[in-house]
Structure 1
Amino acid sequence: MTDAHARPTHVRYGVIALIFLITTINYADRATFSIAGSSASAELGLSTVQTGFILSAFAWAYVLAQVPGGALLDRFGTKRIYAGAIALWSLFTAMQGFVGLVPVFSAVAMLFALRFMVGLAEAPSFPGNARLVAAWFPGAERGTASAIFNSAQYFSLVAFAPLMGWLVHSFGWRSVFWVMGALGLLATLVFLRFIHSPARHPGINAAELAHIEAGGGLVNMEDGGSAAKTPTFTWNNIRQLLANRMLIGIYLGQYCINVLTYFFVTWFPIYLVKERGLNILEAGIAAAAPAMCGFIGGLAGGYASDFILKKTGSLDWARKGPLVVGMVLATMIIACVWVEAEWLVVVLMSVAFFGKGVASLGWAVMADVAPKQLAGLSGGVFNMFGNIAGIVTPIAVGYIVAGTGSFDLALVFVGVHCVITIFAYLVIAGPIRRVELKA
């Protein structure tokens, strides 16, 4: 390394770029069945309710595995656990392309089981992202860094929805799973090659390391020591995380925000096909516009949050201000109920997802408030509550559509959760402060 007074390197920017890439593939793999679902359902004879349960299968496992996944990250480090997760979820994604080709097994059972396994394998991904951001970025840059990896959920559909729609149109629905699985296995190798802790990264110099550490970056988080050898999953630790009023408000807010997320990555392309009459190729292209707006909103929200923090020094203003503005915009999804023109539906969805992107600061908040000893476990608990929405939303929308013959009430269901998000952060959570563990 060079002297601490030399010009600092910018290795952390490469790290966040790689996290963004991995998370883009992560979310694309979650959305594979939403793109391939119409064709797969027709070929396999799936009902609307069965489709809803299959779409929810990912989240059942994802929720159940969050706390164990976070504890594994704290115990064994991000690199090994995260790399293994990428490889496994990619394998299970590819295997979905063989459903229906083995007549011994029910297509519904196989799809549910494989999507369940994808959810199980993906569980450490976002807590792992949060750990890497906490280690690699000073506090004043975490809003932007967290927004970058979180915005990958939108960019994934910008990048992959048209591709997946074209694959279904040109080669059949099975090709989607095989192509995405292969990309994930390739991403595993890239991750193993380039991800290291700040203190051990071969490309960082002393000046950048000092900058990160001076700003509150946990540069030695991944390097073992006594903290890593002490199990973080204890009932006392869990009790403290679940009994904190601020954290309860943050958990509820993340759940409500994710209702919008899961509608988009599960039912939205199907809504465009069944309710708005688009073909699957058109739906894949149309889904890219709201996704791009969500991506831009996510970057804008992170930048605005860090800008406000630098100007005011107030975490409350910096994190809650963009969140409230974003959730107000996100309620525009309800207006689609009264709109006939397909282009206007896409515009309103784009505004809603721009707002949702602006408001998606939950992981930056967790980097601000999580106890230093429990970064992985805290992220796991937070993500567990947030992703209960992935169980509820696909099933609820499936029953609403089956019972009413329309998506109208489903859109209202999603929009109401935007209002609850504002209440959770402003009324329940209170001031944003780092949690200190009690002995």
Structure 2
Amino acid sequence: MKKGGILALIFISVVINYMDRTNISVAAAAISADLNISKVEMGLIFSAFAWTYSIMQIPGGMLVDAVRIRFLYPFILVAWSLVTLVQGLVSSVAALIGCRMAIGFFEAPSYPANNKIVTQWFAEQERAGAIAIYTSGQFIGLAFLMPVLAVIQDWFGWRGLFIVSGLIGIVWAVIWYIFYQEKSNEQPNNPQANSENANQSSSPNTTPVSWQNLKLAFSSKKLWGIYIGQFCLGGTLIFFLTWFPTYLAEYRGFSDLQTGFLASVPFLAAFCGVLLSGFVSDLLVRKGFSNEFARKTPIILGLFLSSSVIFANYTDSTLWVTFFLSLTFFGNGLASINWVFVSLIAPKHMVGLVGGCFNFIGGLSAVIVPVLIGFLVQDGDFRPALALIAILAFTGLFSYLFLVGKVETIEMPVAENELEAKA
């Protein structure tokens, strides 16, 4: 299978992944009115996805290292899509929380799997662009899906929205299984193959689980730098995925359809940001610039721009509110190639595990931020929530400046290397 086909499969999977994460935000106002749910309760529902998503990141990363992607990916797609469909049949806060937890559980291995696929199929100087393309699915997909989801809800109600979303994912799982081809050393002359895997065994997609590897994944300052950065990036992203439509509808006073269309603008900006970042970063690497400059610069600039969200607190103009929120999400898009650091820094046999740890810490933002915002906006004032997003952006910026250091693969301890050699 060609690289373009691989990226297309991942891209559409990411679109569906984020559709099933965010349809709850489109439906939130209708659900709240129908089931009499408070803002604090809705914050808990928003957060519930991340409780299991975060907890399962490390086991999910280990699973990605241990199970062939062609079988794992369709299974988790079907599983989370079925639960998405079930959301349209429930009628209580507890049931909604349970469904969101189940979706988080089954989606947990998806991003470590995406990163491992790119690491296997793409050379180092191509990865930022590849990651930018599939990551853009969460932005461009939602930019167009927000209005579509709003229309589906307008036609079929919030229950129909979940049912339609679930059916789409089930169909896509079948398509994935039919078309995805596992990359292995059985294809040594395949021009699409990544030569970095040339010394692996005939089943390079599996690595035994090792608790020593887990210890290494949490003992590196360099890795903690990207983990904290991912948490801060996730804080901005989760605001747009959860509370943003409510902010537009209730705080800014827009109708449901206005909210659906206006909400798409920042996602388009983020899409532009992530593609610009990925391709410029790869171009700089090919031109001979260091990884410190080529990879870090878009992320640091993006986090700085994300702090501009605070300016939306000081204007009542729809145009300027849209501009500042779009600039914020554009910055988040610029910084979203940070997954490339997992490929560049993690030991090659630990890409799935480190990706799981990376997304575990990032996922904690989706546990904490929606609930915290729910408390901050109880009185209907969203200004403290936007201030929180700005603080997170600066924290992530400082993490990349002072913790990540030189961008290079972490060397395993000698004893661990000897153990691997004996194995």
What TM-score range do you get, normalising by the shorter chain?
over 0.9
1:353 has 2:338 as partner:
no
2:381 counterpart residue number: 406
Counterpart position of 1:366:
342
Name the Cα RMSD after superposition. Answer: 1.8
Relative to structure 1, is the Cα distance of residues 398 and 135 closer, same or farther in structure 2, using a 3 angstrom cutoff? same
Residue equivalent to 2:239: 263
Tell me, yes or no, if the aligned pair for 1:197 and 1:221 is still in contact at 8 Å: no
Per-residue deviation, 1:62: 0.2
Choose from 383, 393, 403 the match for 2:359. 383
Read off the aligned partner of 1:409 and give its amino acid letter: P
Deviation at 1:220, TM superposition (A): 8.2
- 2:421 equivalent in structure 1: none
Report the 3-state secondary structure (helix = DSSP H, G, I; strand = E; otherwise coil) of the residue aligned with 2:218: helix
- Among 134, 141, 144, the residue aligned to 1:156: 141
* Aligned equivalent of 1:427: 402
- Tell me the residue number matched to 1:312: 288
2:368 counterpart residue number = 392
In the alignment, which of 64, 69, 75 is matched to residue 60 of structure 2?
A: 69
| Counterpart-to-counterpart distance in 2, 1:366 and 1:195 | 23
Name the structure 2 match of 1:59.
50
> Structure 2: any 5+ residue segments left out of the alignment?
417-423
1:16 matched residue in structure 2: 7
SS at match of 2:410: coil
The share of aligned pairs that are identical, in percent, is 35
List per-residue Cα deviations over 1:143-195 (Å, max 9, x = no partner). Answer: 00011111211122112111111112222111110111011001101110111
Match of 1:28 among 5, 19, 25: 19
Report the Cα offset of residue 200 of structure 1: 7.8
Preserved contact between residue 48 and residue 398 of structure 1 (Cα < 8 Å): yes
Unpaired runs of 5+ residues, structure 1, are 1-9, 101-106
Could you give the per-residue CA deviations for residues 46-89 of structure 1, whole angstroms, max 9, x where no partner exists?
00000000000000010011111111111112221111111100
SS at match of 1:360: helix
In structure 2, the residue matched to 1:284 is 260
Where does residue 247 of structure 1 map in the other structure? 223
Match of 1:298 among 274, 293, 299: 274
Instruction: Tell me if 1:108 matches 2:93.
Output: yes
Q: Deviations over 1:370-401 (max 9, x none)?
A: 11111111111110001100001100100000
Task: Report what 1:90 is aligned to.
Answer: 81
Equivalents in 2 of 1:405, 1:176: separation in Å? 26
The answer as to 2:203 corresponding to 1:224 is: yes
SS at match of 2:412: coil
Judge which range, 364-373 or 52-61, deviates more.
364-373
TM-score (norm: length of structure 2): 0.94
- Alignment of 1:235 with 2:218, yes or no, is no
Corresponding residue number in structure 2 for 1:208: 191
Q: How many residues align?
A: 414
Q: Distance in 2 between matches of 1:177 and 1:398?
A: 23
Q: Quick one: distance in 2 between partners of 1:299 and 1:221?
A: 31
Residue 281 (structure 1) shift = 1.2
Match of 1:42 in 2: 33
Following superposition, the deviation at residue 312 of structure 1 comes to 2.6
**What CA distance in whole angstroms lies between the structure 1 residues aligned with 2:343 and 2:309?**
29
